[in-house]
Structure 1
Amino acid sequence: MSTLNACKDVLILQTGGTIDKSYPQYPGAYGFEIGQPAVEGILQRVMPSFPFRIDSICAKDSQEITDADREDILRYVVEADQQLVLITHGTDSMCQTARYLVRAGVGQGIDFGPGVGEKKVVITGAFKPECMKDSDADFNVGFALGALQIAPCSGVWVAMRGALIPGAYVVRTDTGDFVDERDFVPLQ
């Protein structure tokens, strides 16, 4: 018998960002608009073997996400019955949201209520909208969902481009990569 836990119920929270952008829906509109949660389409294609629920918290470009929005994200995480939470987020400010949740004590045994301190939260996004053929959204969401199941401990994580980084230490480099600041040495 495997030592891995059976797949658990997952809460997926949409916040917007590039991953959720779609082509304009109205005549005369230009530029991408935040649409339905991109993860819905991804999961329809993948047909995962675990139960999940998708809630939309906000539909914003991540440069527009405020601490009030992060407080809403925190509230959803804290009040959720699920111990596994995936957040789809824009890449420009996902590091700030990860650190906000870490500072709030998510996954660190802080007593928000029964079992809340043991939650695993993984934040992911995409550099190109999910609706585009060459988007990285499917890969990042799939990797993030896998990371939720096997991450070494509870806490807040960022999953991008095949890397899983603790939320307390994630930084985005000038080249757009997400790395652990404890291992990052800038090019000179």
Structure 2
Amino acid sequence: MRVRVLTTGGTIEGFEYTDEKFKNKRTASIKEMLESLGLKSSYSITKLFAKDSRFITDRDRTVLADEIKHCAEDKIIITHGTESMVETATFIGKLNIKKTIVFVGSFISGLEAKSDAISNLSFSFSEVLKLEPGTYIAFHDTIFNWDNVKKNREAKRFETLINN
């Protein structure tokens, strides 16, 4: 089963943010991260854009949705910055696309030795193969449905809105 990986930027790719401006000295390679995992399943990577997720617009989300709808694969991983990941997952989730779509990112730069990028990517890849069609966020060994998740900025984690 082939997986499509769509990249959009964010901390997972090594982007650094300050209150004053967005900067990117160099980019962490999603391709290299995935290669380091020794995955058995085949995948392809498409770079859609490289943005601080605070500046992702509904137009960008429409481009992302069109790519999801028109790609041949029905298992999709989207690397995305955490600042607006919930908003983008909600935008895509409301479209009810009959594919398995998993958003993933990291709180620590993908360029840092102690980054959560590799573990989150690994987790998202294993989960996208098992999950039913729908839109999800995969983070720190937890799957969240697009309509039951929030970002806890202080604790640097995602949480469910309603505990089931």
Larger radius of gyration: 1
Which of 58, 70, 77 pairs up with 1:67? 58
- Greater CA deviation, 51-60 or 41-50? 41-50
Paired residues of 2:8 and 2:49 also in contact (CA < 8 A): yes
Q: Tell me, yes or no, if structure 1 residue 130 matches structure 2 residue 110.
A: yes
1:5-20 equivalent positions in 2, closer than 5 A? 8-20=1-13
Q: What's the RMSD between the two structures over aligned residues?
A: 2.0
Paired residues of 1:21 and 1:32 also in contact (CA < 8 A): no
- CA shift, 1:176, in A, is 2.5
So what's the TM-score if we normalise by structure 1?
Answer: 0.79
* Runs (5+) with no aligned partner, structure 1: 1-7, 24-29, 107-116
So what's the TM-score if we normalise by structure 2?
Answer: 0.90
Residue number in structure 2 paired with 1:161: 140
1:31–1:83 Cα change, 3 Å: closer
The one-letter amino acid paired with 1:150 is K
* Runs (5+) with no aligned partner, structure 2: none
Cα displacement string for residues 27-74 of structure 1 (whole angstroms, at most 9, x for unaligned residues): xxx984175563211112112111111001110011011111100110
1:1-188 equivalent positions in 2, closer than 5 A? 8-21=1-14, 32-33=23-24, 35-36=26-27, 38-106=29-97, 117=98, 119-151=99-131, 153-174=132-153, 175-183=155-163
1:52–1:180 Cα change, 3 Å: same
